[in-house]
Amino acid sequence: MNPAGFSEQVRRAWAIAKKDIRIYYFKGPVLIFGVFMPVFLFLAFFMGSRQLPLSFLISGLVGMTLFFTATAVSPAIFPWEGSAKTLERLASCPITIEAIVFGDMIASLLFGIGITVVTVIIGLALGLSLLHGITLLAAIFLAACCFSAIGMLLAVPPTNVPSNIMMLSSLIKFPLVFISGIFVPLEQMPAWGLVLSVCSPLTYFTDLVRYSFTDAHYFPVVIDIAALAVFTLVFTVGTMYLHKKTMPRRM
């Protein structure tokens, strides 16, 4: 693809993202699974774990917030559009499948970053000190890209029933939360728990958030960033490839 054609596809992807923002941000499932769910999980854990420092709790909340919000929008977009019969019209436009997927990822990324920044501000208002602001901003952006790609990967099954995708999404996301050091510090995990935790990109993001607030970390910062970058690349390439395979089956 020539540079002019690539630029045009990026412009169309941004148009897709703006459409998603207008239509899907305030859908019930997006608000429930993306905003209310991490808040309720945090409050339930906070009530039973008052002995843990506030920095640990807020870091976990930031990790959950970005993970749930960035994966809340993208999984349901294709099923909603498939059931509304608008996906065929979109596919008939001069836009590549990769640009459609990229546009949906942009919408998820912006939603995740916006809500997460609010969570960080709440943590600062409660008295936490931000020791590594640049690291935190880079981690939020990179993790938002990674989690939005995961969200699109969850939307690969060619079903036009949003509830089916949301159920699959929950079955995958909740185990990842519990093995990622959000509720139990990595230092206190058994060996098998650590083996599972390294398979979750949320582990590395949460580790970076705690480093940003407390200067403490389990993995070296370079490892955390490199792991997030690798996960982002793998999930993005995978979701682009798989959606090209399954898109015709949605029509």
What pLDDT was estimated at residue 100? 85
Q: What's the predicted TM-score (pTM) here? A: 0.87
- Measured at the CA of 140, the angle between CA 198 and CA 11, to 5 degrees, comes to 115
**Contact status, residue 157 vs residue 168, Cβ threshold 8 Å:** yes
pLDDT tens across 191-222, in order?
Answer: 888 899 999 999 999 999 999 998 988 999 99
Spatial CA neighbour of 156 closest among 66, 59, 76: 76
What pLDDT was estimated at residue 3? 63
Count of domains forming the chain: 1
pLDDT tens across 104-143, in order?
Answer: 899 889 988 988 888 888 888 888 889 999 999 999 999 9
Residue 119's domain comprises 3-250
Q: Which amino acid is at 206?
A: T
Spatial CA neighbour of 202 closest among 219, 238, 234, 177: 177
At a CB cut-off of 8 Å and minimum separation 6, what does 156 contact? Answer: 239, 242, 243, 246
Tokens of 111: 């939603």
